Amino acid sequence: MSITTYELNHLDQLESEAIHIFREVASEFERPCLMFSGGKDSILMLHLATKAFWPARLPFPVLHIDTGHNFPEVIEYRDQRIKELEARLVVASVQKSIDDGRVSEEKGPRASRNRLQTTTLLDSIEENKFDALFGGARRDEEKARAKERFYSFRDEFGQWDPKNQRPELWNLYNGRIRQGEHIRVFPISNWTELDVWQYIEREAIEIPSVYFAHEREVFRRDGMLLADSDFVTRSDDEELMTRKIRYRTVGDMSCTGAVESEAENLKQIIEEISSTRITERGATRADDRVSEAAMEDRKKEGYF
Amino acid sequence: MEFLRFATAGSVDDGKSTLIGRLLYDTKSIFQDQLESVEAASKQMGNEHTNLALLTDGLRAEREQGITIDVAYRYFATPKRKFIIADTPGHIQYTRNMVTGASTADLVLVLVDARHGVVEQSRRHAFLASLLRIPHLVVCVNKMDLIDYDEKAFNSVKEEFRNFAMKLDIPDLSFIPISALHGDNVVERSAKMPWYEGSSLLHHLEEVYIASDRNHIDARFPVQYVIRPQNEEHHDYRGYAGMITGGVFKPGDEVVVLPSGFTSTVASIDSYDGPISEAFGPMSVTMRLTSEIDISRGDMICRPNNQPTVSQDLQAMVCWMSESTELTPRMKLALKHTTRSSRVMVSEIQYRIDVNTLHRDEKPESLKLNEIGRVSLRSTQPLFFDDYRRNRNTGSFILMDEVTNATVAAGIIVGSG
């Protein structure tokens, strides 16, 4: 930051914009919460929220939609951070939604709990009466997300109507909702993947070890490397091999792919991201490969 | 690195999506998997060339109808700057979308088809850019390839546009002849137009000077949130959190708090990373004062010798954005201005402006969707504001429908009383 010229660099501007939104929601909503997956974007969100309210604690709880298919490293990280921040954690479990008969498990070798999360999330919103949910989605991730607002209105069914969004002007956000409706809030809308990594490096934010290159037993499916785990069923021609890999995104173990990488530290990750020619979701997300509009369709139903 | 936020506006089929696709492609901001999916989609739709417009039109309905529905945001960077594009469609809801996209922009890029010259929509875009006080306007005269890169044709578009722009307030106006399809003058200077001596579009975007566009004179700090940790370590801590929307604040500055009018001194400006010696826009900070006075969200901290207008009556240019209702005299609406919420009543609609001819219709009965007019509003509470011309943050507001909660208008303050 250069004081004499009164200019802010891009990371300072992005940080300030996000902090402004965290504070605005905390002022205008009664029951916000921060959705946390353990991925780098939600870790960044937790860091920004901490900065927004320092020296006070977070004025809202952290919500984890737990598919039960987690990387153990990520759960360990989550519990550690929550303890450090003295924050309140709410866990909504997809397994419980299945046990309660709210959803049924997908069948077959490619079964994933990705889509089931939506029901668990919407049930949890209703149960806890959340009226604003912070999410770490970015507009550069995916073309449906490029049309998202900072404040994204959801009706009483949790649905997103992309053709009928509220115009968002200057930095004046319309937080008016009726009972039963809620908003999703995306404070890091304007960040790119590279911004996220540069900021993580600058702020020395700790992240789970799965983001750094390590050796792991993987197999190839649809051109992606998936980790072997109890949550996936391999077919006979999907052979296991040991590769040096890292994760660019971290989600459900059954549908998050790894990339082959030698990047063992943040500096090397930033170099790798700067020169890559594949988007992070394209490289690592089986859930986006269903169709051209896979993300839009899930979002309309109430997905993250 | 520095940011440049720009909005793009164009009319039907003038090649705006192609230009954005070109900028992203030539700056290597498009990834291989994105390009492959666009190539596949183009083939499926029977397009001869890869249709770069599909990069930006992501929604199902947009692809099906071949149009852009909503403002989309795109990101790219060069070694010199990072760019955020607000891509505003020319088809549906053009005024509403352009006002939305341009509200946060430093620069507006207007596309004109070289074969058709300045059309009604070009005039509308220029008017909206000047209404929203966008300091920089770049006119790209596109499809130069279809008129044999003719200098005379370019100059006549330029002259026509300038004649119209003279009636507006546009501090910085530039013209660039391009072919988005072939990439002429987009990233590199084109060899096909040796008569053009200016810079390429990308070079212009990298170099345009925006640092002086922000107001660093009038100190304004709308209180957004009060931080009171109430824990052992910070027992008596009371900090006022918010974003600086004008001027510079330093510890030791004498300040006045509106609406109470109490004066105090800045004790410290805090952040998670430590104390700040000088705070300026758009920094989000937490301010502490030396005296204990009652301050809450919606209050404004400023300097005693430089205060905003305090009034319940304001004069504003309003752009109406609702499809289902019209703005009429005596109507009551919810207003949000800085961090302050209030109710307002429309006292009077003075005139409606024809965005194509700039003609004023005096005393219209109402303002309909996408119409712009000058209105007088009466607020239930005093507001602390500046002319939009002086400060975009303290001079702007939104209006919301009290029943449907929809955002129904964008407002630009032009005076009080």
**B21: phi then psi, degrees, rounded to nearest 5:** -55, -40
| Contact present, A168 and B408 (Cβ < 8 Å) | no
pLDDT, greater one: A76 or B357: A76
DSSP track, A199-241? HHHHTT----GGGS-EEEEEEEETTEEEE--TT----TT---E
Indicate whether B113 and B226 sit together in one domain: no
Superfamily of domain A10-195+293-301: HUPs (3.40.50.620)
Residues of B whose CB is below 8 A from A204: none
Please state the separation of Cα B268 from the chain's center in Å: 32
Residues of B whose CB is below 8 A from A296: 58-60
Q: Mind telling me how many Å the CA of A18 is from chain B's nearest CA?
A: 9
Residues of B whose CB is below 8 A from A176: 334, 400, 405
Indicate whether B256 and B232 sit together in one domain: yes
**pLDDT for residue A291 is more than 60:** no
d(CA A64, CA A66): 6
d(CA A194, CA A210): 18
| Average pLDDT rounded to a whole number, residues A283-296 | 61
> Would you call A23 and B84 a contact, using CB atoms and an 8 Å cutoff?
no
> Would you call B34 and A282 a contact, using CB atoms and an 8 Å cutoff?
yes
Burial class, A90, CB count within 10 angstroms (exposed 0-12 / middle 13-18 / buried 19+): middle
Residues of B whose CB is below 8 A from A146: 56, 58, 72-74
Residues of A whose CB is below 8 A from B400: 174, 176
| Contact present, B187 and B257 (Cβ < 8 Å) | no
d(CA A195, CA A185): 19
User: Which pLDDT belongs to residue A1?
Assistant: 47
> Would you call B396 and A142 a contact, using CB atoms and an 8 Å cutoff?
no
> Would you call A283 and B243 a contact, using CB atoms and an 8 Å cutoff?
no
In sequence order, the 6+-apart residues with CB closer than 8 A to the CB of B320 are: B326, B327, B367, B368, B369, B370, B371, B372, B373, B408, B409
Q: DSSP state, A99?
A: H
User: Which pLDDT belongs to residue B372?
Assistant: 95
Residues of B whose CB is below 8 A from A3: 277-278
> Would you call A170 and B243 a contact, using CB atoms and an 8 Å cutoff?
no
User: Which pLDDT belongs to residue B70?
Assistant: 74
d(CA B71, CA B212): 27
In sequence order, the 6+-apart residues with CB closer than 8 A to the CB of A126 are: none
Neighbours of A233 (CB within 10 A): 11
Indicate whether B269 and B342 sit together in one domain: no
Q: Which amino acid is at B388?
A: Y
Indicate whether B88 and B204 sit together in one domain: yes
Please state the separation of Cα B172 from the chain's center in Å: 16
CATH code of B368's domain? 2.40.30.10
User: Which pLDDT belongs to residue B377?
Assistant: 98
| Average pLDDT rounded to a whole number, residues A64-77 | 88
Partners of B371 in the beta sheet? none
**A10: phi then psi, degrees, rounded to nearest 5:** -65, -35
**pLDDT for residue A3 is more than 50:** no
**Is residue A236 very low, low, confident or very high in pLDDT (cuts 50, 70, 90)?**
confident
Indicate whether B121 and B95 sit together in one domain: yes
> Would you call B31 and A282 a contact, using CB atoms and an 8 Å cutoff?
yes
CATH code of B179's domain? 3.40.50.300
pLDDT tens track, chain B, 417 positions: 889 999 998 776 778 878 888 888 888 777 777 777 777 777 777 776 667 667 666 666 666 666 666 788 889 989 899 999 998 876 656 788 889 899 999 999 999 999 999 988 888 889 999 999 999 999 999 999 999 999 999 999 999 999 989 889 898 999 999 999 889 999 999 999 999 999 999 999 999 998 778 888 999 999 999 999 988 888 889 999 999 999 999 999 999 999 999 999 999 999 999 999 999 999 999 999 999 899 999 999 999 999 999 999 999 999 999 999 999 999 999 999 999 999 999 999 999 998 878 899 999 999 999 999 999 999 999 999 999 999 999 999 999 999 999 999 999 999 987
| Contact present, B84 and B3 (Cβ < 8 Å) | yes
| Contact present, B285 and B271 (Cβ < 8 Å) | yes
> Is any Cβ of chain B less than 8 angstroms from the Cβ of A41?
no
Structure tokens at A88: 């309140």
Final residue in a domain of this structure, among B212, B243, B272: B212
pLDDT tens-place string over residues B119-170: 888 888 899 999 999 999 999 999 999 999 999 999 999 999 999 898 898 9
Please state the separation of Cα A228 from the chain's center in Å: 22
Structure tokens at B299: 């209050």
> Would you call B284 and A23 a contact, using CB atoms and an 8 Å cutoff?
yes
**Is residue A2 very low, low, confident or very high in pLDDT (cuts 50, 70, 90)?**
very low
> Would you call A27 and B339 a contact, using CB atoms and an 8 Å cutoff?
yes
d(CA B393, CA B282): 10
d(CA B129, CA B139): 12
Structure tokens at B359: 């003609």
Q: Mind telling me how many Å the CA of B181 is from chain A's nearest CA?
A: 22
Residues of B whose CB is below 8 A from A283: 33
Partners of B410 in the beta sheet? B319, B398
> Would you call B3 and A17 a contact, using CB atoms and an 8 Å cutoff?
no
d(CA B411, CA B413): 6
> Would you call A163 and B334 a contact, using CB atoms and an 8 Å cutoff?
no
Final residue in a domain of this structure, among B268, B302, B336: B302
SS3 A174: coil
Indicate whether B8 and B76 sit together in one domain: yes
User: Which pLDDT belongs to residue A287?
Assistant: 58
What are the residue boundaries of the structural domains of chain A, listed by start?
Answer: 10-195+293-301, 205-286
The b-or-e profile of B136-173 (16+ CB within 10 A means b, else e) is bbbbbbbbbbebebeeebbeebbeebeeebeebebeeb
Could you list the residue range(s) of the whole structural domain that residue B335 is in? 309-416
Write out residues 90-149 of B within 8 Å (CB-CB) of A: 96-97, 99-100, 103-104
In sequence order, the 6+-apart residues with CB closer than 8 A to the CB of B254 are: B263, B264, B265, B303, B304
| Contact present, B189 and B152 (Cβ < 8 Å) | no
| Pairing outcome for strands B279-280 and B254-258 | unpaired
> Is any Cβ of chain B less than 8 angstroms from the Cβ of A12?
yes
Number of domains in chain B: 3
Q: Mind telling me how many Å the CA of A135 is from chain B's nearest CA?
A: 18
Which of A65, A68, A63, A66 lies closest to A87 in space, CA to CA?
A63
| Contact present, B126 and B164 (Cβ < 8 Å) | yes
Residues of B whose CB is below 8 A from A140: 75
Write out residues 206-225 of B within 8 Å (CB-CB) of A: 211, 214, 216, 224-225
d(CA B329, CA B313): 15
> Would you call B69 and A146 a contact, using CB atoms and an 8 Å cutoff?
no
Query: Which helix or strand (DSSP H or E) is residue A246 part of?
Result: strand A241-246
Residues of B whose CB is below 8 A from A170: 103-104, 392-393, 396, 398
Write out residues 97-156 of A within 8 Å (CB-CB) of B: 139-140, 142-144, 146-147
Q: What pTM, to 2 d.p., does this model score?
A: 0.92
Residues of A whose CB is below 8 A from B103: 169-170
Please state the separation of Cα A20 from the chain's center in Å: 20
> Would you call A163 and B70 a contact, using CB atoms and an 8 Å cutoff?
yes
Q: Mind telling me how many Å the CA of A100 is from chain B's nearest CA?
A: 34
Residues A204, A184, A198, CA angle at the centre, nearest 5°? 20
Indicate whether B236 and B359 sit together in one domain: no
In sequence order, the 6+-apart residues with CB closer than 8 A to the CB of A289 are: A222
> Would you call A23 and B241 a contact, using CB atoms and an 8 Å cutoff?
yes
Distinct helix (H) and strand (E) counts, chain A:
9, 10
Give the 3-state DSSP-derived string for chain B, with helices as H, strands as E and coil as C. Answer: CEEEEEEEECCCCCCHHHHHHHHHHHCCCCCHHHHHHHHHHHHHCCCCCCCHHHHCCCCHHHHHHCCCCCCEEEEEECCCEEEEEEECCCCCCHHHHHHHHHCCCCEEEEEEECCCCCCHHHHHHHHHHHHCCCCEEEEEEECHHHHCCCHHHHHHHHHHHHHHHCCCCCCEEEEEECECCCCECCCCCCCCCCCCCCCCHHHHHHHCCCHHHCCCCCCEEECCEEECCCCCCCCCCCEEEEECCECEECCCCEEEEECCCCEEEEEEEECCCCCCCCEECCCEEEEEECCCCCCCCCCEEEECCECCEEEEEEEEEEEECCCCCCECCCCEEEEEECCEEEEEEEEEEEEEECCCCCCEEECCCCECCCCEEEEEEEEEEEEEECCCCCCCCCCEEEEECCCCCCEEEEEEEEEEC
Inter-chain Cβ pairs, chain A and chain B, closer than 8 A: 183
d(CA B319, CA B353): 10
The b-or-e profile of A124-155 (16+ CB within 10 A means b, else e) is bbeeeebbbbbbbbbbbbbbbbbbbbbbbbbe
Residue of B nearest to A275 (CA): B28
> Would you call A146 and B72 a contact, using CB atoms and an 8 Å cutoff?
yes
Indicate whether B106 and B231 sit together in one domain: no
**Which CA distances in Å does A91 have to A61, A116, A239, B378?**
10, 15, 35, 47
Indicate whether B254 and B317 sit together in one domain: no
Structure tokens at B4: 């440049």
> Would you call B337 and A172 a contact, using CB atoms and an 8 Å cutoff?
yes
User: Which pLDDT belongs to residue B66?
Assistant: 61
d(CA A129, CA B55): 38
d(CA B191, CA B181): 15
d(CA B20, CA B210): 21
Residues of B whose CB is below 8 A from A57: 229, 231
Residues of B whose CB is below 8 A from A165: 70
